[in-house]
Amino acid sequence: MADQQPGEQPDTPQTQSVNAVDRYFKITERGSTFAREARGGVVTFFTMAYIVVLNPIIIGGIPGEPKNADVLGNVLPLAQVAAVTALVAGVMTIVFGMVARYPFAIATGLGINSLLAVSVAPQVTWPEAMGLVVVDGIIIVLLAVTGFRTAVFNAVPDELKAAIAAGIGCFIAFIGFVDAGFVKRIPDAAKTTVPVQLGIDNSIATYPTLIFAIGVLLMGVLMVRKVPGGLLIGIVITTVISIIIEATTGIGSSRDNTHGWNLSVPELPSSLGSLPNLSLVGDVDLFGAFTRIGVLSASVLVFALVLSNFFDAMGTMTGLGKEGGLADEKGNLPDIGKALVVEGTGAIAGGVGSASSNTVFVESASGIAEGARTGLANVVTGVLFLVAMFFTPLYEIVPLEAVSPALVVVGALMIGQVRSIDFTKFEYALPAFLTIVAMPFTYSIANGIGLGFIAWVVLATAKGKWRTVHPLLWGVAVIFVLYFARGPISDLLN
């Protein structure tokens, strides 16, 4: 205590531990507080907790039914998938927060789990499909450890990084609109040239959609008034209103009633929870798919998984870093190498856990909008996921319609990144535009990045500036051309 100033109180063990946490996570250095990190972690959890309910629907199934059955007719039981989804998300989110120290939560990626259910599982068994996910994760980690992922990350021009961030803003807002039923796909039987519509018959005709609309305006007002915890307050208020409406009307789920709730029905649980069934952990066949369908066919599937994982994560971290003010003046994240290694490990963990590949979730932007700037927010989010394994009904109370408004508000914040793009130069404008619009229109961050990269290389060449394009950008553009043409290429090879 020789350096203690006159009149200054000595540190107690408690304040010393608090200061150690502050220094480790760089909370003060990044302009945050413990309260903001806690709020941000809670908001991130509630905006992405739906994955614990949705992932079982996408890759899980009921024994004896053909939906999501593998080549042998077996399915992944719904309750077990929910348990491992929460487990892997909780563990990997905490690990990412502790190692990378960024507020980017991790959970099962929606693109990859859909790919597994639709394209992979019908050809192989589920353990073999998860084996391909593990192989994908190993490749991603090797690419990160060797510095290749970081090099590609840093080779992206500033204009495209801004476009990626803005595109992610549009994408998550669109996710919010669709999840809340505010935007609906018109059935093909309608024979209309318009593929989507507002609500039902272009009107807000349901209570859940009304809740969403109220939530957007409420959270917007709270943001304008700079109310601390505005997004979290908005989620709580709209959830309470939803519970009251469900108790009064009993409209139930949209699976039984077109006017019902889109996923979780906001009902008070009859029981708080039970022990999770983690029997799917470790049920993996690493090389079985290569034997069953051949090395070439299995390699094509792994290629699709790697490319989707690689660029979804890169794009998401680019957008989240820029939005949180965590990137440097060139749009690069400090210590991005560690973050990319941990993110790649999420794919391995997801495969081993039979939860599908885990990756950084774009919904983390909601926690960043709430003030989260460090990995401490991730620790909060991860702990809540682990608790969710035991108390499933508690997070099922919150309907998608109550959390989707937060995604729209965050989208409005992120679209502001377009201000750093010079749209007067068409060689910048078209690649940026394609990046931004392709993400929501194709429901894929990787697709938007791929189209942007290809357009950037082509227009730079047309402008006579091909030498200014980073060699890695050329290589990645060629890889994306192959990725987009993988269907015809696969047909030719077969």
Are 361 and 444 in the same domain? no
Identify the CA nearest to 137 among candidates 161, 159, 105, 108: 108
Are 456 and 410 in the same domain? no
Asked if 344 and 143 touch (Cβ cutoff 8 Å), the reply is yes
Give the CB-side neighbour count of residue 214, counting CA atoms within 13 A: 18
Are 436 and 475 in the same domain? yes
Cα–Cα distance between 113 and 116 in angstroms, integer?
5
Are 401 and 463 in the same domain? no
Torsion of CA 460, 463, 465, 471, to 10 degrees: 20
CB proximity list for 205: less than 8 A, separation 6 or greater: 199, 259
220 in a domain, yes or no?
Answer: yes
Q: What global pTM score does this model have?
A: 0.82
Instruction: For 219-232, give one letter per residue: b (16+ CB within 10 A) or e.
Output: bbebbeeeeebbbb
Q: Nearest 5°: CA angle at 153, between 150 and 157? A: 145
Are 377 and 459 in the same domain? no
Asked if 111 and 308 touch (Cβ cutoff 8 Å), the reply is yes
278 in a domain, yes or no?
Answer: no
Expressed as residue numbers, the domain containing 353 is 20-265+286-421
Give the pLDDT score at 278.
93
CB proximity list for 312: less than 8 A, separation 6 or greater: 109, 111, 359, 444, 445, 446
Beta bridge partners of 199: 203
Per DSSP, the three-state class of 18 is helix
Are 148 and 161 in the same domain? yes
Give the pLDDT score at 281.
96
Torsion of CA 76, 82, 84, 89, to 10 degrees: 140
Cα–Cα distance between 357 and 353 in angstroms, integer?
9
User: pLDDT tens digits, the chain, 494 residues: what are they?
Assistant: 444 445 545 556 666 667 899 999 999 999 999 999 999 999 999 999 889 888 888 898 877 777 788 999 999 998 899 999 999 999 999 999 999 999 999 999 887 888 888 788 889 999 999 999 999 999 999 999 999 988 988 888 989 999 998 998 899 899 889 888 898 887 766 566 678 888 887 888 899 999 999 999 999 999 999 888 888 899 999 999 999 999 999 999 888 888 899 878 898 776 666 788 899 999 999 999 999 999 888 888 898 888 888 888 888 898 899 889 998 877 788 888 899 999 999 999 999 999 999 999 989 999 999 999 999 999 999 999 999 888 766 667 888 899 899 889 988 988 988 998 999 999 999 999 999 999 999 988 889 999 999 999 999 999 998 888 999 999 999 989 988 887 787 777 66
Cα–Cα distance between 1 and 108 in angstroms, integer?
49
CA distances 469 to 9, 160, 445, 454, 465, Å, are 58, 12, 22, 11, 7
DSSP string, 39-70: HHHHHHHHHHTHHHHHHHHHHEE-TT--TT--
Neighbours of 456 (CB within 10 A): 26
194 in a domain, yes or no?
Answer: yes
Are 293 and 433 in the same domain? no
10 in a domain, yes or no?
Answer: no
The answer for 74, left when phi > 0, alpha when psi is -120 to 50, beta otherwise, is beta
Cα–Cα distance between 101 and 93 in angstroms, integer?
10
Residue at which a domain ends, from 400, 421, 442? 421
DSSP string, 251-303: --BTTT-TTSBSS------SS-------TTTT---SSHHHHHH-HHHHHHHHH
Identify the CA nearest to 446 among candidates 471, 476, 469: 476
393 in a domain, yes or no?
Answer: yes
Residue at which a domain ends, from 421, 437, 459? 421
Residue at which a domain ends, from 376, 400, 421? 421
Asked if 186 and 196 touch (Cβ cutoff 8 Å), the reply is yes
Query: What are the counts of helices (DSSP H) followed by strands (DSSP E) for the chain?
Result: 21, 6
Give the pLDDT score at 2.
42
Placement of tokens 């409420």 in the chain: 218
13 in a domain, yes or no?
Answer: no
Q: Into how many domains does the chain fold?
A: 2
Identify the CA nearest to 362 among candidates 162, 169, 150, 116: 169
Identify the CA nearest to 470 among candidates 460, 484, 485, 481: 460
Per DSSP, the three-state class of 286 is coil
Give the pLDDT score at 3.
46
Cα–Cα distance between 259 and 325 in angstroms, integer?
40
Are 294 and 247 in the same domain? yes
Instruction: For 381-408, give one letter per residue: b (16+ CB within 10 A) or e.
Output: bbebbbbbbeebbebbbbbbbbbbbbbb
Q: Which amino acid is at 142?
A: L
Placement of tokens 């990378």 in the chain: 100
Cα–Cα distance between 407 and 4 in angstroms, integer?
47
CA distances 318 to 146, 147, 362, 413, Å, are 20, 17, 10, 15
Cα Dmax for the chain: 81
Per DSSP, the three-state class of 17 is helix
Pairing of strands 60-61, 76-77: parallel
Helix (H) or strand (E) holding 89: helix 78-99
418: tokens are: 């377009």
40 in a domain, yes or no?
Answer: yes
Are 331 and 480 in the same domain? no
Are 448 and 479 in the same domain? yes
Are 236 and 257 in the same domain? yes
12 in a domain, yes or no?
Answer: no
Are 123 and 97 in the same domain? yes
